[in-house]
């Protein structure tokens, strides 16, 4: 069963527009959730993570995500897109494993138009 | 800290040759993960280790793939014999023990099998 679903494999926005990348999860235990970013020809880097301390999580580069248990969602947003935000974004789920295994979504490629 | 180190960064080989990818995790991290990333299949978990012991290798595509972790600071992923369909970017990631911890990714090895 799919643990993490990212809706939309490609999202395009204009520079200055709102960025919204969607992530829904499935977990039978309280989840830990992550957003990673991958710039071209680089590895994945942590953008932000939810560990139950606060439902609204702020990350680097102006991104934030809100954990909504009732909707099993953890959508990523940024009020105003910048050209440098063009990258692939991955949502990931920790099901409470003490071994650190994460379940990744398929990724969403964000394109930012000038 | 130097982060997760992978070598080589690029590898071009001919079909049938043996390929060995190397990874040095972050010191003190207990778990190590090998991923493969392709356009068609996205990011796939191949195998992961905890305290140098393989925990789950169900993602290894075929017997041609093998991975070892002889000590806490070194792991290898070997493909023998290599095939063109093995062309991909291979990532290594490590994480400390416990839940809710992020995985730290290396820069990846871009493998091209001709």
Specify the residue for token string 């994460």: A102
**CA-to-CA distance for B2 and B22, rounded, in angstroms?**
15
Q: Is A28 exposed, middle or buried (0-12, 13-18, 19+ CB in 10 A)?
A: exposed
Note the pLDDT tens digit of each residue in B36-46: 999 999 999 99
Note the pLDDT tens digit of each residue in B47-69: 999 999 999 999 998 899 999 99
B112–chain A Cβ distance below 8 A for any pair: no
Helix (H, G, I), strand (E, B) or coil at A17: coil
Split at pLDDT 50, 70, 90, the class of A18 is very high
Residue A18 · residue A77 · CB < 8 Å: yes
Q: Could you count the other beta carbons within 10 Å of the beta carbon of residue A64?
A: 16
pLDDT exceeds cutoff 70 at A1: no
Note the pLDDT tens digit of each residue in A73-83: 999 999 999 99
- The residue in chain B having the minimum alpha-carbon distance to the alpha carbon of residue A97 is B99
Show pLDDT as tens, one digit a residue, over chain B (114 residues): 689 999 999 999 999 999 999 999 999 999 999 999 999 999 999 999 999 999 999 999 889 999 999 999 999 999 999 999 999 999 999 999 787 889 999 999 999 999
Tell me the nearest-neighbour CA distance from B81 into chain A, angstroms.
26
**CA-to-CA distance for B22 and B27, rounded, in angstroms?**
15
**Residue-level pLDDT at B15:** 97
**CA-to-CA distance for B103 and B90, rounded, in angstroms?**
15
Give the tokens for residue B56. Answer: 């789950």
Give the tokens for residue A49. Answer: 């993570």
Specify the residue for token string 């969607």: A22
Mean pLDDT of chain B: 95
Tell me the nearest-neighbour CA distance from B64 into chain A, angstroms.
24
Choose the closest CB to A98 out of B56, B91, B98: B98
């Amino acid at each position: 069963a799919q643990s993490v679903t990212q809706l939309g494999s490609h999202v395009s926005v204009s520079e200055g527009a709102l960025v919204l990348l969607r992530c829904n999860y499935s977990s039978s235990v309280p989840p830990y959730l992550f957003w990673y970013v991958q710039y071209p020809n680089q590895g994945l880097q942590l953008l932000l993570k939810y560990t139950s301390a606060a439902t609204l999580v702020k990350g680097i580069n102006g991104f934030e995500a809100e954990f909504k248990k009732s909707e099993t969602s953890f959508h990523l947003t940024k009020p105003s897109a910048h050209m440098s935000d063009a990258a692939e974004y991955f949502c990931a789920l920790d099901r409470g494993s003490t071994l650190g295994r994460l379940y990744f979504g398929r990724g969403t490629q964000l394109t930012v138009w000038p | 800290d130097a982060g997760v180190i992978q070598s080589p960064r690029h590898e071009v080989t001919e079909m049938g040759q043996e390929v060995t990818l190397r990874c040095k995790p972050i010191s003190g991290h207990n778990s190590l993960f090998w991923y493969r990333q392709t356009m068609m299949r996205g990011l796939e978990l191949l195998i992961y280790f905890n305290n140098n012991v393989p925990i789950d290798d169900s993602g290894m595509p075929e017997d041609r793939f093998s991975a070892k972790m002889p000590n806490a600071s070194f792991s290898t992923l070997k493909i023998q014999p290599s095939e063109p369909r093995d062309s991909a970017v291979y990532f290594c990631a490590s994480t400390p023990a416990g839940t809710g911890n992020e995985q730290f990714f290396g820069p990846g090895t871009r493998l091209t099998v001709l």
